Chain A
């Protein structure tokens, strides 16, 4: 899913660098409400985990692979604004040190994998949590669907960028069908990995799953018994 330099022309890539900068700026403000000094290292772990799992390409069809995007995972574990920052740091590290995803294409990649995948996943998750029972099962079902839809949504982001500034002339419906089709399959992998990971954290420390904090019973305040 990492767009290399050259697929999209320079003016469009530059414009999306601007889009990414605004998105990251907004997320820096939003993340301050999601983070405290105890959860901040956890959010760093989520970014490191997304980096690791993005290395694990899984086969999806003949001669094609896919890997986790991680936007849904990060949003459900640490909150949507922090998630945008997690994925953006991963993309920055990959672009600078690993030559994965072009540098001029960084704005395109942040737009697709952070600014599109995260809100799509988060809104889907919130919507489903409203209709599903407030149980672990409800959280995991919402997680699976949210992770699944985030991948084709991200792929559509690329198609839009290609429509605006593609350097080649492949008909858009062809690109849309091809990108959508393969990323529906990759979305299944995204759903499996995300659900397993959220399930594991939910089993260990449900209070640390941002999207499931309501499942943890709040501490009740009761008057202290007289004479203690």
Chain B
């Protein structure tokens, strides 16, 4: 498998997972949330400064259909993460090459 093919296959898998499979993820509290609830300190959590973000809690504001909302949020997240991380790593690698 070529490097390019692996890259596109991997991206496709990530988009499928975030865009379609994520709807079926467990909505139970995660480990830390559960412990905080059981031990009575969940209420000390404060809303994030970004709680009003249009993508807050993995949904797109204004998209009513829950499947579409979480799927779209997931796809956007994968793209943003790939662009930020991939772009940063390419710059970092170039700098290394130039510095010799």
Residues of chain A at the chain B interface (Cβ within 8 Å):
1-7, 28, 31-33, 35-53, 55-60, 63-67, 82, 85-86, 89-90, 92-103, 155, 158, 166-168, 170, 174-175, 178-179, 182-183, 185-186, 201, 204-205, 208
Contacts and interface: CB of A to CB of B under 8 A. Distances in A.
Nearest to B10: A45
Nearest to B4: A41
Contacts of B6: 42, 201, 204-205, 208
14 contacts: A6-B46, A35-B96, A48-B79, A52-B22, A57-B27, A64-B28, A85-B88, A89-B81, A89-B88, A98-B50, A170-B39, A175-B39, A178-B38, A179-B35
A43 to B, nearest CB: 5
B93 A36 contact: yes
Contacts of A179: 31-32, 35
A47 B89 CA distance: 11
B14 A41 contact: no
Most buried by A among B14, B80, B85: B85
A50 B55 CA distance: 18
Contacts of B73: 98
Interface of B: 1, 3, 6-7, 10-11, 13-15, 17-18, 21-22, 25-32, 34-36, 38-41, 44-51, 53, 55-58, 70, 73-74, 76-90, 92-97
A184 to B, nearest CB: 10
A194 to B, nearest CB: 15
Contacts of A33: 96
B13 A49 contact: yes
Nearest to A37: B93
Contacts, number: 235
Contacts of B88: 44, 85, 89
A51 B18 contact: yes
Contact of A98 (B39, B56, B83, B94): B56
Contact of B45 (A4, A44, A60, A86): A4
A182 B22 contact: no
A97 B39 contact: no
A60 B31 contact: yes
B92 A48 contact: no
A35 B98 CA distance: 13
Contacts of B84: 47, 89, 92-93
Contacts of B26: 57-59, 65
A182 B34 contact: yes
A139 to B, nearest CB: 18
The 4 lowest CB-CB distance pairs between A and B, nearest first, are A44-B86, A47-B85, A6-B46, A48-B82
A92 B85 CA distance: 11
A42 B7 contact: yes
Given A1-B32, A182-B35, A98 B57 contact: yes
Contact of B1 (A43, A65, A103, A204): A204
